[in-house]
Amino acid sequence: MMGLTFWFRRFSENNAVAGLARLDAIQLQQMLRTGQISSLELVDALLEQYAAWEPRVGAFLNFRADQARDQARELDRRRSAGADLGLLAGLPVSVKDILCTVDYPTTCGSRMLRDYHSPFDATVVARIRDAGGIVFGKTNLDEFAMGSSTENSALAVTRNPWNTEHVPGGSSGGGAASVSAGICPLAIGTDTGGSIRQPAAFCGISGLKPTYGRVSRYGLVAFASSLDQAGPMARSVPELALLLEAIAGHDPRDATSAPNEVPSYSHTIAEPLRGLRIGIVPDHFDAGLDAEVDAAVREALGAFRARGATVREIELPASRQAIATYYVIAPCEASSNLARYDGVHFGHRSTERDRTDESPLARLYCRSRAEGLGAEVKRRIMLGTYALSSGYYEAYYLQAMRVRRLIRDELLAAFQSVDVIVGPTTPAPAYRLGEKANDPLSMYLEDLYTVSANLAGIPALSVPCGLSRSGLPIGLQIQAAPFAEELLLRAGAMYQQVTDWHQRRPAA
C-alpha cells in the first residue's frame, strides 16, 4: 500500500482513486517503476473510475475487470522477479473494438460481428502485450468505423464526458471517452478520415494518426484499406510518443507496413525545436469555421510564435476537393472489403426463410446483410458499389484517385517550405447527440480538415487548445511530412509546455 500512502501525502485527496485517475501515463509509469504503486493498485484505482464514469459515458463494448486484474498480478509477479517488463510496463490501454483480440470479442460495433471471436491478436495488440501493457477492454465505435460521432454503433451509445448530451466524436469515440473520463490513461484508435483526431478534439485529449505504413494494419478489420491507420490516444503528447514507440515498426504480415526504423519518440520528445516553420491555409479559416474555434487556433499560433516559430500562409487548392475525393474512395474500398460479410463466410446469418422465386443462397445473402448491417454502412456500400460499377468507374473512382495524387503532391511540396501545417481539427466543438443523425452530408463535413492527411498518407496530430463558452473542448491540428512523427510530436509537446489545456478535466 506504499503507493496509496504516497498519494495521500502528495495530493491530500480524499482517496487515492481520484488522484491516480488524474495522473498521466508518464507519471504512472514512474510510480510503477519506483514501486510507489503496483500494477494491481493502479488497475483497482481505474476500476473505481470505471464504475463512476462508465454508466454515464458508455465508452466500452466489452470490459472484464477480473481479466485486467489477472494481467496486473502477473506483471507485478514478473516485476518482483526482476524481469524487464517493456516500455509500457503495467500501463492499461483500452483498444478500439475493430482490432482483433484473442481474449475479447471483436464486434466492430456491428450486429454482423456481435459474436465474432478472433483466433489471433492484431499486431498492435500483440505489441502492447509484449511491451507490458494491460489490455483494458474494447471500446465503442461507429459501425465498422464509418461515422464521426459513434452514434452509428449498433451496440451501444457513447457520450462525451464533458457534456453527456453531446457526442464524443467518431469513429474512435469510445477510446477518446475512456481517456477523457480518466478510466484509462492510454487508448488505441483507428483513423480513416479523422477518426482519432476528431474525437480527441471533441473530448479534450491528444490523438495521433501516424504515417500510413508506420503502424501495422494486420488484425485491423478493414474499412478502407488504403486509408486506415491505427494510432495512439492520450491526454498529452509525451504519452502519445510512448505508446507510438511501443506499437510502431515493420510487420512482415502487413504488405503495406513500412520498413522504416522507429525513432525513440519517448526520449526525443523533450528536445527543443528552434526555428519551427509553420504553414497555415487560409481556406481553413473561412466562413464555415466556428468563431470560438477560430479564436482558439489563432491564440495557439501566438503561443508558437512566442517560442520562436514563424508562421506563413500557404495555398493548397487541390485540398478543396478532399471531402468529395474521400467520399468516393472510402466507400469504394468499403464496398469491396465488406463484401465478405454475407452470412456464409463471416458474421451474422439470417434464420428467416420464405418462399420466393429467388435462389435460397441469394436470399440468405440479402437477409443476412439487411439484418446485420446498419444504415450508414449500407449507405457507404451502395455509394461505393455505384462508383465502381460499369460506366461510372472512370468518372468517379479513377478521377478521385487522380485528385488524391494531386492532394498528396501538393502537401509534399508544401513541406519543402514549412515544417508543419497548423489549423483547426474540426469546424466546431462537439454537437448534441442526434443533431446530425438525419443529415449525413452535414456529418461528412465534420471531416473537412482531417481527410487530406489520410488521402496523402501523412501523419497528423490533434491537441487541445481551448474551451468554448459552453465548456466544450476545442482541438488544434498539426500535420507533418511522411514519417516525420518525431518532429510532429516535438511540435505538439512544445505547445503543451506553454499551455495547460491538456491538463483540464471534465467535471466529475
Cα–Cα distance, 33 to 35 (Å, whole number): 6
The answer to whether 483 touches 211, Cβ cutoff 8 Å, is: yes
The dihedral through the CA atoms of 447, 453, 457, 463 has a sign that is: negative
Residue 1 has a pLDDT of: 36
299 inside domain:
no
58 inside domain:
yes
Phi, psi dihedral angles at 279 (to 5 degrees): -105, 140
Catalytic residue numbers read 96, 171, 195
Number of C-beta neighbours around residue 497 at 10 A: 14
Residue 384 has a pLDDT of: 97
- CB burial class (10 A; 0-12, 13-18, 19+) of residue 390? exposed
Count the domains in the chain.
Answer: 1
Range of 238's domain? 2-276+422-503
Report the chain (508 residues): mean pLDDT per 10 consecutive residues. Answer: 38 54 95 96 97 98 98 97 95 98 98 96 98 98 98 97 98 98 98 98 98 98 98 98 98 98 96 94 95 98 98 97 98 96 86 69 89 96 96 96 98 98 98 93 92 98 98 98 98 98 94
The answer to whether 188 touches 233, Cβ cutoff 8 Å, is: yes
The answer to whether 93 touches 128, Cβ cutoff 8 Å, is: yes
Question: Amino acid letter at 416?
Answer: Q
| Entry pTM | 0.95
Q: Prior bond to 257 cis, omega within 30?
A: no
Strand segments, DSSP code E, in 71-185 are 92-96, 134-139
SS3 at position 51? helix
208 inside domain:
yes
32 inside domain:
yes
383 inside domain:
no
98 inside domain:
yes
- From edge to edge, which strands make up the β-sheet containing 186-190? 60-62, 134-139, 92-96, 186-190, 230-234, 206-209, 460-467, 473-480, 420-424, 277-280, 310-313
Beta bridge mates, 464: 475
304 inside domain:
no
77 inside domain:
yes
For residue 160, the domain's CATH number is 3.90.1300.10
Phi, psi dihedral angles at 207 (to 5 degrees): -150, 145
